[in-house]
Amino acid sequence: MTALILDGKALAKQREQMLTQRVNLLEQQPVLATILVGGDPSSATYVQMKINACGRTGMGSRSIELPESTTTEELLATIDELNSDSQVCGILLQHPVPAQIDERACFDAIAITKDVDGVTTQGFGRMAMGEQAFGSATPAGIMTLLDHYDIALEGKHAIVVGRSPILGKPMAAMLLNANCTVTVCHSRTVDLAEQVSRADIVVGAVGKPELIRAEWIKDGAVVVDAGYHQGGLGDIEKLGLENRVAALTPVPGGVGPMTINALISQTLEAAELLA
Ligand code: NAP
C-alpha cells in the first residue's frame, strides 16, 4: 500500500484562489487584527505567515504588537477596542501569551462574531453542540483536509493524542460530530502504544517530536500529524509508514498551511456575515 499524501500546502493554495474571488465580491475589505504579545520568534513567524495569507487573498490585516510585560488588563483593553472596531471582522490572539497573562480570560473576551481562530469557550461549546461557530483553526483545517481527500470518518475509530483547548479537545469534538468513535489520549494515558494501535485514524497533537512511534500504528490507518519540530520532525514517527498506511500528512506542508487557511477562510466568513 502506498500512502495517499494529504497535501495541505497544495490544498491551501487552491482554496486561496477561491477566497480571493469571494473577497473581490465584498464592498468592504475584510480585516483580520492580529495580536502578538512578547518577542517569541516562532510566534512572530506564525503571525507573519497569517498576515501574508491575508495579503495573498486581498484581505487586510492590522498588526498589533504588545510588549512582553503586558498585563491581562492591558490585553483585555486592546481586545475590547478591536471588538468595537467596525473595520475589524476577525481577531487573532497568538498563543501562547506570556505567563503573567490570563490567556483564557483574554481568549474569552473576543467577541464571538470575531472569534475567527475559534478560541473562545462559547465558540467551542457551540461547535461541540453542532451549532454555528468558527472552529478552532488547526482542527478545522484538518477536517477540511480530510474532507477534500474523501477520507471516510463515519464509524471509524479515531485517536487524538493531546487534549489542549486549541487542538486536541476541539479535534475530538469535530471527529465525534463527524460520527467517528473517538478516544482522547493525554499525559496520564496508560499504555499509549496499545491505544494508538487500535486506531483507524491517528491525530498527533502532543507537541513532542516523534512521541508517537510508527510501529504502534496499524496498517491502513490515516495519520494526521499536527506537530512541527526542528529538523522537520512531527509528533508522529513516519519510518516506513508511507508503504503501509492509507494516508498521511507531510511535515511540513500538511496541517500547518491548513491552519492558516482555516483562519483566513473564517475571517472571510465573518466579513460575509457582517456584509
Ligand atoms: P499543548 O498545549 O502542549 O498540549 C499537548 C498535549 O499533549 C497535552 O494535552 C498533553 O497532555 C499531551 N501530552 C504531553 N505529553 C504526553 C505523553 N507523553 N503522552 C500522551 N500525551 C501527552 O500543545 P498544543 O498547543 O495542543 O500543540 C500540540 C502540537 O501541535 C505541537 O506539536 C504544536 O506545535 C502543534 N500545533 C501545530 C499547529 C499548526 O498550525 N500546525 C497549531 C497548533 C499546534 P496533558 O493535557 O495531560 O498535559
Cell of 157: 475509530
- Which residue's alpha carbon is at the smallest distance from atom 3 of ligand 1? 207
Catalytic residue among 117, 200, 225, 235: 117
117 has catalytic annotation? yes
Q: What is the largest CA-CA distance in the chain?
A: 55
User: 33-42, pLDDT tens digit by residue?
Assistant: 999 999 999 9
Averaged pLDDT for residues 63-87: 98
Q: Do 29-111 and 137-255 fold alike per CATH?
A: yes
pLDDT value at 105 more than 90: yes
- Per residue in 209-243, pLDDT (tens digit) is 999 999 999 999 999 999 999 999 999 999 999 99
29-111, CATH topology level: Rossmann fold (3.40.50)
Quote the CA–CA distance of 11 and 25 in Å, as a whole number. Answer: 22
Rounded CA-CA distance 76/149 in Å is 40
Catalytic residue among 7, 50, 225, 238: 50
Q: Report how far ligand 1's centroid is from the alpha carbon of 4 (Å).
A: 25
Report the mean per-residue pLDDT for the chain. 97
Concerning whether 94 is annotated as a catalytic residue, the answer is yes
- The model's confidence at residue 80, banded by pLDDT at 50, 70 and 90, is very high
Could you confirm whether 218 is annotated as catalytic? no
Mean pLDDT to the nearest integer, 164-190: 98
Domain range list for the chain: 29-111, 137-255
- Cβ 55 vs Cβ 262: under 8 Å: no
Q: Ligand 1 atom 5: the closest Cα is on which residue?
A: 206
The pLDDT value recorded for residue 275 is 84
Does domain 137-255 bear CATH number 3.40.30.20? no
Look at ligand 1, atom 1, and give the residue with the nearest C-alpha. Answer: 164
